[in-house]
Every structure is written in C-alpha cells, then in structure tokens.
A = this chain, B = another copy of it.
Amino acid sequence: MTSGWISLLTDYGTADGFVAVVHGVILGHDADLRIIDITHEVHPGDIARGAAVLEDTVGHLPVGVHVGIVDPGVGTQRRAIALQTSRGFLVGPDNGLLWPAAEALGGVQVAVELTNPAWHRPEVSATFHGRDIFAPVAARLATGAPIADAGPEIDPNTLVRLPIPPVHVGDGEVEASVHMVDRFGNVQLRMDGDLLSTLDDEVSVMGQSARRVRTFGDAPRGSLVVFTDSSGLAAIAINGGRAVVALGVEPGDRVRITSRNADA
C-alpha cells in the first residue's frame, strides 16, 4: 500500500522557507522518502482551487501519501485528518480540500482525526501545521505506520465537502461551472466532455461563436473552440490566445454553451 512517495500541494508559495522546512521534516524522519511537489502556488486560502488541482493530479502520481495544505483555519477548531483510499493516503485539514482527490482515488475507506501527539512535532505551533502535524504524519504513513495509530477513526460522512455545482443539459444547450483556468488561459468546466456531443459543431459560448473541435490547433488562430481536455472535462480555448480573457470568467462562474441553430 505504501511506497515511500509523498506528494505536496500547498498555498505556501516558494519565496519563503515553508516548503523547504516541510521537505526537511519529511526527510529528517526518513531520508529515503521521495517527494513530488505538485504545486505551492495555490492562491492563499483558495481551497476550491487546491482541491481541483489535487483531484486532477493524484491519479497520475506514484501511489503514496498526498499532502494538501490550503488551510486558512489553521490553529482553530477545524480537524486535521488522514484519509485512506484503495490507491494511497491523503493528509491535510478537514475543509473540503482532500475529498475530491479521495474520490479520484476510489473513495474514502478509512478516515481518522490526527490527534495522536506522538505523531506530531513535540511542540505544535498554532500556525504551521504543515511542519508540525501534516509532514510528520505523512512521513509515518509513507514508511508504513498504520493509519489507526494516527488518531481515532471518524465517520467519512462527517467530513467537510465543497458544494458540487450542478450541470444542466438541455435541448441543444449545456450549462456548467468554471472549474479551473490554467496557465494557457484555457477554461475548464466541471462537466464531462462527452456531454458536448449533444451539441452541434457550431456553438455559441456565452453569446460568442465557437466551434466544437478535437484540439485548439484544429481551428484558425484567434478563434474560440470547445473540446474535451486531457482530464476528460469540457474546456474552452482560443488557439494562440487566452479564452479566460475573451469570456471574462473565473472559477465558479456559470458558462452556457448552445448549439448555434438552437440559438437562432
């Protein structure tokens, strides 16, 4: 079940020493552990973004322990948790960050609250649980310590979950929420890309003409396209441009795509 791999996703940035300290704590526990940095550039406190990147990524990483730390409630009553799935562990705060990734790994089998002080740094600060709780817990799980020793089991149904925005599929139209915007300005919707096949080839995205294509390179430069992206979700792009600018949307916004005929 364990493999000696730990992956990290945080909102710590890379300009301070926080990430290196977390690496140091993990490697101080066992120098043979290996670490993959997913990203540390989640906007401070943006749990939804962190959850989306973690969900999208964990399935492609070596089986191991995935640590997510976007934790504006650090030091308050929010629980610190570890989740066991059939394809690895997740460690972090109980604020919705880990749940979608757990689903991507097959669902939560066991959930525990991280209350065993023997698994923490001797002194736990009120503000840096990455160093004091999450890193030492992850290192122990990654070296094969049983999750039951991390703390008491809790009911998975009590875990905090982010709201899942609805997908609307109608006659010649679909509507869904923006899930993520990537570095290229591509707009990913929280909707299965297969649902795009209910539309014509010529569509309208928020009133702007677009084409359904296999990849953005299939359309002329500057034109708006709709396609199934590499995660299998519906996405909107501009060949050589930034769809996010053309559409003026951000994560959580609703986007409606209609067949051009239906539009008329």
Contact = CB atoms under 8 A, between A and B. Distances in A.
A53 interface: yes
Contact of A15 (B28, B41, B216): B41
A227 B126 contact: yes
B215 A57 contact: no
A1 to B, nearest CB: 15
Contacts of A72: 217, 240
Given A216-B75, A218-B75, A39 B24 contact: no
Interface in A220-235: 227, 229-230
A240 B183 CA distance: 26
B44 A20 contact: no
Nearest to A183: B13
Contact of A24 (B15, B62, B127): B62
Interface string A176-220: 000010111000000000000000000000000000001111100
Given A60-B21, A60-B24, A217-B76, A182 B16 contact: yes
Chain A interface mostly:
loop
A57 B240 contact: no
A63 to B, nearest CB: 9
Nearest to A78: B217
Interface stretch (A30-38, A79-87, A152-160, A163-171): A30-38
A36 to B, nearest CB: 5
A131 interface: yes
Contact of A53 (B16, B23, B28): B16
Contacts of A74: 215, 217
A17 B12 CA distance: 15
28 contacts: A11-B183, A12-B183, A14-B14, A14-B41, A15-B183, A16-B39, A16-B183, A17-B38, A17-B54, A17-B57, A19-B39, A20-B37, A20-B60, A20-B61, A21-B57, A21-B61, A24-B61, A44-B184, A76-B215, A76-B218, A125-B229, A125-B230, A126-B215, A126-B217, A126-B230, A127-B229, A128-B229, A128-B230
